[in-house]
Every structure is written in structure tokens, then in C-alpha cells.
Amino acid sequence: MALKLLYYLYRKLINIFNNNLIDKFEDDENDYYFETFQSICHQPVIIKMKRKYTDTILFDGKLYTTDKEFNTLATKNGNIVALGKRKEIFEKYKANKYYNLRWKYIFPLSPNLFSLYFKNTSIAQNEKINIIKMLNIIDIKQSLLNEKIWIKEDGKADFLIIDQDIMNIEEHNLQEANILNIFISGKDFCI
């Protein structure tokens, strides 16, 4: 194992052609990223970063967040632990499940959204799924506008995956949008 790692590092040091080269090395037990760059003295410096584990990583999506550059999120224990660009998230985190969103839209699920249909908002998860299936896309958009909620780090991992950007569609065309998937407390509930 040590010989394999030394050979890998030797190969990378020989092939330095940029000031910033990120690559991955995996062994049987760990998963590391190595960032190789040249210091002021033109000597290579290697920083080893071990990735953190998460439950789920959703990537290549269009997130309804304050930063339009973000396209990836990581969840753990029912919360969103990281938002960012795909490269950044994949360098820092490793997940049990990965979802390629293929540039679909992720919108937060408002806790008050259920009050449109039921007075009791502390209903069981399977009942929430049935309610969401009945929800009108217009109601979903209206709740996002009224409550001004976003996908954010350290927030609950409750969100919808929708095939269109409902925030930029006129109201009379909203019924053409479809809910593709639902995540409640970070758990995937396919429709």
C-alpha cells in the first residue's frame, strides 16, 4: 500500500504543470484528495484532505438559493450540511447515495404549505407525501413567495425536485410543471 502511494505521489510531482492541480487517490479503507501546488520557492507542496461522510449528495441541479452558482448539496441526519459547486462538495464530502439531478430544480418545502390543506402541520411523513401529491404548483410557488424561504446550509433537508423553474413561469402555465421527487428530512420519497 505504501509503495502504491509513493508511486502515485511521485507520478503527480513529475507531472505538475499548473499552480493548482487537484486529484484523487483511493485505497481500500480511505478516500483522499491531494491538492498539489508550487510554493514561492517552486517546491511542490502537498496537502492531504480526508473527505467527510454524508447521507446524500444531490448534484448538477438548479437550487433555489441566494447564490445562483450553487448546483450541489449534501445532506446528513435530515439537514443540509453543505451547499456549493459540484467540485467543491465532491472534494469535501463522500455520500452513501448520489443523485444526478440533470439540471432539474430544487425548491424548499415550506412547513406552512401543509396548513393550506390541514390545520395540523405535525402530520406523519406518509401523509405529507399524499398531501404533496395533491398540492397545486401554484400553491407551492405562492408559499415560497410569501415566506421568502430558500435552500440553505444547516436548514432542514425538506425539498421538492421539479422539472421547471416555477418562479419564472407565468401562473397560467404553472400546471405544466411536474413534481419529480420529494425529500423529507433528507429521505427520498419517489412519487
What is the residue-level pLDDT of the chain in tens, covering all 191 positions?
666 776 676 666 655 533 344 444 444 445 555 444 444 445 555 555 688 999 999 999 999 998 888 999 999 999 999 999 999 999 999 999 999 999 999 999 887 775 555 544 455 656 666 666 667 788 888 888 888 889 999 988 889 899 999 999 988 888 889 888 888 888 876 65
> Tens digits of per-residue pLDDT, 120-154?
445 565 666 666 666 778 888 888 888 888 999 99
Residues 6+ apart with CB under 8 A from 35: 20, 21, 22, 46, 47, 49
Length of the chain: 191
Query: What is the reported pTM?
Result: 0.68
Between CA 47 and CA 28 the distance in angstroms is: 20
Pick from 23, 22, 24, 14: which is nearest to 44 by CA? 14
Q: Cα–Cα–Cα angle for 9, 12, 17, nearest 5°?
A: 155
Contact 89, 72 (CB under 8 A): yes
- Please state the separation of Cα 126 from the chain's center in Å: 23
Task: Look up the CATH number of domain 53-190.
Answer: 2.30.40.10
Closest C-alpha to 64, from 130, 162, 142: 162
Task: Report domain extents, the chain.
Answer: 2-50, 53-190
